[in-house]
Amino acid sequence: METIWILEDQLSPAHPALTGGPRPDAVILLIESRKRFAHLPYHQQRLVLILSALRHFAVELRVAGWKVDHHELEAAPDFLTALQRHVAAYQPTRLVVMEPNDWPMTEALGPIFERLAVPTELVPTNLFLCGREEFRLWAKGGKRLLMENHYRRMRVKTGWLVGPDGAPEGGAWNLDAENRRTFTDFARGKPPRPADPVREEPDALTRDIIALVEREFPNHPGRAAGFWLPVDRAGARRWLARFVAERLVHFGPFEDTMATGEPVLFHSVLSPVLNLGLISPAECVEAALAAYRSGAAPLNSVEGFVRQIIGWREFVNGIYWLRMPGYVTENGLGASRPLPAWLQTGETDLRCVRECVQQVLGTSFNHHIQRLMVLGNFFMLADIAPGEVLAWFNAMYCDAHDWVMAANVIGMILHADGGLMATKPYVAGSGYIERMSDYCEGCRYDPAVKTGPTACPFNYLYWSFYDRHGPRFAKNPRVAMMVRSWAKRSEADKAAVRASTQEFLARAVPLG
């Protein structure tokens, strides 16, 4: 008997060990390790997503004719215990596993396999379009690891949005100049949003999982009952089709817009199902390209979406495998403050932060600009320790996995990797948030005021950042001007910025 152990983020019908269909001499092993699910205080909806997806996958495999040995959460304290029970029951002569997507699981496999004393085989992952070795070779040859260069190489390799002459369709590789419309553009243009909520109604199995999570993880953040995501392949395909039909058209121009009470706007929210293997990156790209070719979606929206999939997603995975295991502990800016206590409730008087935190508490989701330019921006400006921020992102987001969040948080959001991933620190004062959202309306702080009790904290925190880190960025062409600008400020101005910063940070309460 051969055992095919499928991990909870490898729920792909194209899993290499499933090729050829059910075999009488093979059994699929699925394990819901309680230890893994309780490793962090995961958002309840993230737990529902993964558990429900696993159980739907088990049903589909059985219907297809596979023998399945499924160790459910209530009886699976950890992977080793479940594996030992499986080996005792099935006496497999071989154990096949696809390469895990993250480092901790990869590290854990060696000792587990030793204890089992069953011949094992690791098969290469097929969940990404750029292999780990391929990325490593590319990174070795390049002067700087720029996402844009990786993205162009991926465009050429796949042929997506590339003409027969090798030139990018539309004349440019990146059409962001046509995107990034402001909130005012959004409010004036009134692009139509879907009439129905972007939501998959939970079926009976998912409703059982919601009850299970409420029972087993009652103190985890969020509310399982608000669960809204697809959990199986059919749902993932519907989700993709709905995005392409309803939202892709406006995705590009408004991909950076933030609007109160609208968590999805024109985003695809495909990452939760993509990162579990329920749908493939190629399927997502092909669907968007088909919409472009039929005239249903403009090139700037489609190119922006393709860039997220074959550019950013593959790039963060490549960086992760290039730099692990040390990457998650990098702290290039020496940030050391604890997370603020109000992350548990969202009850802060910074309205932009409150909107984003309350949204993630309600939905386990923020889109990329809320993560980068509101929450991440705040965490970096407030000098919060990268390890704490990484753990919070990993716990709270429905699409979070170690490989996704490491490069996003350590590299992109916090610049903690010394600039390996991002060419500049993504910090901003109130101007960016005011331009891209409606959050400043009705905020207790004034975005136009720079210091003092009514000033927007992003303003003085922003200049304090350059006060602390100016020398480090003095030669960075993208932000050197800000360093020089801070240096030219009067001593009275600098003292006011420092005093406001100290007063604000003294009020921040650790999460504890």
- Residue 374's nearest CA partner among 421, 334, 331, 432 is 432
Residue 427 near ligand SF4 by CB under 6 A: no
- Considering only 98, 285, 310, 350, the residue that binds ligand SF4 (CB under 6 A) is 350
Return phi, psi of residue 62, to 5°. -65, -45
Binding track over 57-96 against ligand SF4, x by CB under 6 A: ----------------------------------------
Nearest CB to ligand SF4, comparing residues 133 and 441:
441
Q: Does 371 bind ligand SF4 (CB under 6 A)?
A: no
Strand ranges across the sheet with 67-71: 67-71, 26-31, 2-5, 94-98, 120-123
- Which among 7-15, 108-116, 300-308, 453-461 is the span making contact with ligand SF4, rule CB under 6 A? 453-461
The amino acid occupying position 154 is M
Question: Of 430, 464, 500, 501, which lies in the binding site for ligand SF4, with binding defined by CB under 6 A?
Answer: 430
Cβ closest to ligand SF4, residue 388 vs residue 434: 434
Q: Which two tokens stand for residue 441?
A: 């309306």
- Does residue 456 belong to the site contacting ligand SF4 (CB under 6 A)? yes
Distance of CA 244 to the CA centre of its chain: 20
Does residue 463 bind ligand SF4 (CB under 6 A)? no
Q: Which residues is 455 bridged to in the sheet?
A: 446
Residue 24, judged by CB atoms within 10 A of its CB (0-12, 13-18, 19+), counts as exposed
Q: Does 445 bind ligand SF4 (CB under 6 A)?
A: yes
Which residue number, 34 or 351, has a Cβ lying nearer to ligand SF4? 351
Which of 194, 204, 270 has its CA nearest to residue 233?
Answer: 270
Q: Rule CB under 6 A: say whether 447 interacts with ligand SF4.
A: yes
Sole residue written with tokens 């998650």: 328
Q: Which one, 71 or 371, has the nearer CB to ligand SF4? A: 371
Among 42, 458, 462, 473, which residue interacts with ligand SF4 (rule: CB under 6 A)? 458
228 binds ligand SF4, rule: CB under 6 A: no
Q: Which is nearer to ligand SF4, 425 or 457 (CB)?
A: 457
Secondary structure of residue 164 in the 3-state scheme: coil
* Number of neighbouring beta carbons within 10 Å of residue 197: 10
Q: Which two tokens stand for residue 508?
A: 């921040």
Is the CB of 235 or the CB of 457 nearer to ligand SF4?
457
Q: Return the residues of window 235-274 that contact ligand SF4 according to CB under 6 A.
A: none
Please tell me whether the peptide bond between 41 and the residue prior to it is cis, using omega within 30 degrees of 0: no
Neighbours of 442 (CB within 10 A): 8
Measured CA angle at 373 (ends 498, 358), to 5 deg = 100
Nearer to ligand SF4, 458 or 463 (CB): 458
Shortest spacing between CB 298 and ligand SF4, in angstroms: 31
Closest CB to ligand SF4 among 57 and 445? 445
Closest by alpha carbon to 285, among 165, 160, 376?
A: 160
Residues across the chain:
512
DSSP code per residue over 166-186: SPBGGG-S--GGG----HHHH
Residue 142 carries which side chain, given as an amino acid letter?
A: G
Q: Which stretch binds ligand SF4 (CB under 6 A): 67-75, 167-175, 410-418, 456-464?
A: 456-464
Q: Which is nearer to ligand SF4, 230 or 429 (CB)?
A: 429
Q: Among the candidate windows 35-43, 108-116, 382-390, 451-459, which touches ligand SF4 by CB under 6 A?
A: 451-459
- The contact set with ligand SF4 (CB under 6 A) reads 350-352, 430, 433-434, 439-440, 443, 445, 447, 456-458
